[in-house]
Homo-oligomer: A and B are copies of this chain.
Amino acid sequence: MFSKRPHSERSGHGSSGLPCRVWLRQYRPATAAQDALAAAIVTLLLIPQSLAYALLAGVPLTLGLYASLLPLVVYAIFGSSYYLSVGPAAVLSLMNMAVLQPLYPLGSPEFIAASALIALLSGLILLGMARLRLGFLANFLSHPVISGFMTASALLIAFSQLKYLFGVGGGGDTLPRLLISLWQHLPETSGLTLLLGLSALGLLYVIRTRLKAWLCRRGVSVFWAETWARTGPVWVLVLLTALVALLGLDQQGVRIVGAIPAGLPELNLPPLDWDLALHVFPAAVLLSLVGFVESVSVGHTLAARRRQRINPDQELVGLGAANLASAFSGGLAVTGGVSRSVANFEAGAQTPMAGIMTAVGVALSLAYLTPLLYYLPHAVLAATIIIAVLGLMDFHSLRQTWHYSKHDGLAQWATLIGVLALGVEQGLLLGVGLSLVLFLGRTSRPHIAVVGQLPGSEHFRNIQRFAVQESPLVLSLRLDESLYFPNARYLEDRVSALLAERPQVRHLVLMCSGVNLIDASGLDSLEAIRFRLQEAGIALHLSEVKGPVMDRLQRSEFLQRLSGPVFLSQYQALCQLDPEFTAQTLAARDAARPIPLAAAE
């Protein structure tokens, strides 16, 4: 990230022109070979994953492949990350299902059209955010909320797949409903399906967690061990699909994918239904934000490994365009998924050209390979999904966050439980809302410290934490928060209480090192405090006011009403307001030199 050569050119940073022009200009055959190899591996992985996420989203399985085609090409042109692989993702598919399940029957033409509409809206929302520079909105999904949301979504997804594993019907959009539905349908369980599903689950789990180490121990080189471990899931699918075909298990109750129409998607504008658009708009906003956050965080992480940077504003454009492309070519909201991007990176992709090559691979598969998927059992796809979402669960973070901050922990648990008990959208909104309310609640009762001078320095610290010297005439108060509408009235209360305890004080110096903003409400409060202090014969002063805050104060009449100047530092304020006190401390400082070393407080 901080290498000495400027990386701005390579990373496509800067807003002049398309990011792809930078890497296309210096594209070399050697790079092409690396990209092609990565594309081949990723294509193999993408096919079952895309089918699985289409199943999860409630649309025909082909659409999953369609969504891994054109969006990849479009993102390669407009996106700023070199390694991101864009396509359907587990959480977005879950959200798609959660929004549309109550409205239309699964897989119906209306359901499909509505999914395309969500992709369209998501594309427009992301492009709109790029245009209006609203990328910061994604920050309101705080880390704990996102982590709680991902864990809960992964749990929800895993439990929603159990019905395919058991070969039964039913379903639901919350954990309780999923469990009840599964319990009710349990008598219909198809033993063969369950056996097949559990085998897939076991094999995939072992491949994921053990295969590489086992192969290495058996003397296989690291490269081949990794390649086998990475492509292992594909072989499991091939094996189990062949088994179903050979034994004719589909005649004995095992549900299979069946005929997948071959050929490339047609380009169509999704049908525009304004009422529906209005109805799904809030969900589309959330889905866009979640997709953006997931994509940017993967992009950042991968870029940092090669000391590159990604440009969040350009990511909005790339993802927005990819979603539009998806909407026009079949339709399922897309984002830069974690597992596919990591696979792309680790398979050695060098530039976004790998994404374009992957799209070609998917297109070839759509043209020629769909007959091979005929006997693929749903239970095996479900097992693929369950294993894929294991990586999204982060229970360690729950404990760690709670330990660090109860507020953050509360927001995280609320999101987790909200998603599981109320639904995806509701849970996420609950988490975001709660983290905002908790933050605003905290900021409305800021920390206000009485400070004194550290002996032998010009530094002022809290009298309750440090052995400091206080002037009897001057009360030094440090406000540890911006002075703005949520806390304006609180300062008035605290100042009056503190001064009531100190009848001899003649000057109040408000040390503003922690004040990053004084808004109109804060200014009103300062003026009220100044006026009331004046009535009581106490002068109000400010010190260490930062430049931007000072600029604004100078536009008001407040500074003229102050009885003295604004002091550059708290120390200068003391020098002028109580020279006798400062003379004593000066003597102490000269005695104390050399300066004591830093101490962890």
Residues of A whose CB lies within 8 Å of any CB of B are: 1-4, 6, 136, 139-140, 142-145, 296, 300, 304, 307, 309, 312, 401, 403-405, 407-409, 435-436, 439-442, 444-447, 449, 454, 457-459, 461-462, 464-465, 480-482, 484-490, 492-493, 496, 499-500, 503, 513-517, 519-521, 523-524, 532-533, 535-536, 538, 543-548, 550, 552, 555-556, 559, 564-569, 571-573, 575-576, 595-601
| Given A1-B535, A488-B139, A519-B408, also A403-B458 (CB < 8 A) | no
Query: What B residues does A401 contact at CB under 8 A?
Result: 520
Query: What B residues does A142 contact at CB under 8 A?
Result: 484-485, 488, 519-521
Query: What B residues does A515 contact at CB under 8 A?
Result: 514
Q: CA–CA, A591 to B31, complex, Å?
A: 62
Check B519 against A516 for contact (C-beta < 8 Å): no
Check A576 against B547 for contact (C-beta < 8 Å): no
Check B532 against A2 for contact (C-beta < 8 Å): yes
Query: What B residues does A598 contact at CB under 8 A?
Result: 543, 564-568, 572-573, 576
Check A486 against B139 for contact (C-beta < 8 Å): yes
Query: What B residues does A569 contact at CB under 8 A?
Result: 457, 459
Q: CA–CA, A485 to B601, complex, Å?
A: 25
Check A503 against B4 for contact (C-beta < 8 Å): yes
Q: CA–CA, A409 to B555, complex, Å?
A: 14
Query: What B residues does A6 contact at CB under 8 A?
Result: 500
Check A2 against B535 for contact (C-beta < 8 Å): yes
What residue of chain B has the Cβ atom nearest to residue A486's Cβ?
B139
Check A444 against B139 for contact (C-beta < 8 Å): yes
Check A2 against B458 for contact (C-beta < 8 Å): no
Q: CA–CA, A3 to B537, complex, Å?
A: 10
10 further A-B pairs in the complex, CB-CB below 8 A; given A458-B459, A543-B598: A1-B536, A142-B520, A143-B520, A454-B568, A458-B571, A545-B601, A564-B598, A566-B598, A568-B599, A571-B595
What are 26 A-B interface contacts by the 8 Å CB criterion? A1-B496, A2-B532, A2-B535, A136-B440, A136-B444, A139-B444, A142-B484, A143-B485, A300-B492, A309-B493, A404-B552, A407-B519, A439-B484, A439-B485, A449-B546, A457-B569, A457-B572, A459-B568, A459-B569, A480-B546, A481-B482, A513-B513, A543-B598, A565-B598, A566-B601, A568-B598
Q: CA–CA, A519 to B464, complex, Å?
A: 23
| Given A1-B536, A2-B499, A555-B404, also A565-B485 (CB < 8 A) | no
Query: What B residues does A139 contact at CB under 8 A?
Result: 444, 485-490
What residue of chain B has the Cβ atom nearest to residue A147's Cβ?
B520
What residue of chain B has the Cβ atom nearest to residue A572's Cβ?
B598
Query: What B residues does A485 contact at CB under 8 A?
Result: 139-140, 142-143, 145, 435, 439
Please indicate which of the listed interface residues A409, A517, A520 has the most CB atoms of chain B within 10 Å of its own CB: A520
How close is A152's CB to chain B, nearest CB, in angstroms?
17
Instruction: Report copies per complex.
Output: 2
How close is A105's CB to chain B, nearest CB, in angstroms?
31
Check B547 against A143 for contact (C-beta < 8 Å): no
Check B536 against A599 for contact (C-beta < 8 Å): no
Check A552 against B457 for contact (C-beta < 8 Å): no
Q: CA–CA, A305 to B184, complex, Å?
A: 71
Query: What B residues does A312 contact at CB under 8 A?
Result: 489
What residue of chain B has the Cβ atom nearest to residue A558's Cβ?
B404
Query: What B residues does A457 contact at CB under 8 A?
Result: 458, 569, 571-572
5 pairs of A and B residues whose beta carbons are closest in the complex: A142-B485, A2-B536, A408-B520, A136-B444, A143-B521
Check B520 against A600 for contact (C-beta < 8 Å): no
| Given A555-B404, A597-B576, A598-B566, also A442-B517 (CB < 8 A) | yes
Check A496 against B459 for contact (C-beta < 8 Å): no
Q: CA–CA, A487 to B492, complex, Å?
A: 28
How close is A137's CB to chain B, nearest CB, in angstroms?
8
Q: CA–CA, A308 to B190, complex, Å?
A: 78
Q: CA–CA, A524 to B143, complex, Å?
A: 8
Please indicate which of the listed interface residues A136, A407, A535, A543 has the most CB atoms of chain B within 10 Å of its own CB: A136
Query: What B residues does A601 contact at CB under 8 A?
Result: 545, 547, 550, 566, 568
Q: CA–CA, A576 to B142, complex, Å?
A: 36
Identify which of B405, B556, B566, B575 contacts A552 (C-beta below 8 A).
Answer: B405
Q: CA–CA, A550 to B136, complex, Å?
A: 27
Check B144 against A521 for contact (C-beta < 8 Å): yes
Q: CA–CA, A515 to B516, complex, Å?
A: 9
Query: What B residues does A442 contact at CB under 8 A?
Result: 517
Q: CA–CA, A145 to B519, complex, Å?
A: 12
Query: What B residues does A595 contact at CB under 8 A?
Result: 571-572, 575
Query: What B residues does A481 contact at CB under 8 A?
Result: 482, 516
Query: What B residues does A599 contact at CB under 8 A?
Result: 565, 568
Identify which of B304, B545, B597 contacts A572 (C-beta below 8 A).
Answer: B597
Check B556 against A404 for contact (C-beta < 8 Å): yes
Query: What B residues does A550 contact at CB under 8 A?
Result: 601
Query: What B residues does A403 contact at CB under 8 A?
Result: 555-556
Check A136 against B496 for contact (C-beta < 8 Å): no
Query: What B residues does A404 contact at CB under 8 A?
Result: 520, 523, 552, 555-556
Identify which of B140, B536, B556 contacts A440 (C-beta below 8 A).
Answer: B140
Query: What B residues does A513 contact at CB under 8 A?
Result: 513-514, 544
Q: CA–CA, A247 to B545, complex, Å?
A: 69
What residue of chain B has the Cβ atom nearest to residue A311's Cβ?
B493
Q: CA–CA, A502 to B464, complex, Å?
A: 39
